[in-house]
A and B are shown apart, each in its own frame.
Chain A
Amino acid sequence: MSELAIATHELTKRYRGDVLAVDRVDLRVARGEIYAFLGLNGAGKSTMIRMLLGMIRPTAGYAELFGERVGTGSTGLWRRVGHLVESATAYPDLSVRDNLEVACRLAGVEDHQAVEAMIERLALEQYADRRAGTVSLGNLQRLALARALLHEPELLVLDEPANGLDPAGVIEIRELLRSLARDRGVTVFMSSHILGEVDQLATRIGIVHRGRLIEELDSVALERHRDRRLEIGARDPEAAERALRAAGLAPARRSVAGTELLELRDARALEAPDEIARLLVAAGVPPTHLALARESLEEHFIRLTAEIAGAAA
Chain B
Amino acid sequence: MAELYLEAILLILLIATTLIVLTVKDLMAAIVVYSAFSYFAVLFYLMVGSPDVAFTEAVIGVVSTVFFISALKKLNRGVKH
Q: Do A and B bind each other?
A: no
CB within 8 Å of B: which residues of A?
A: none
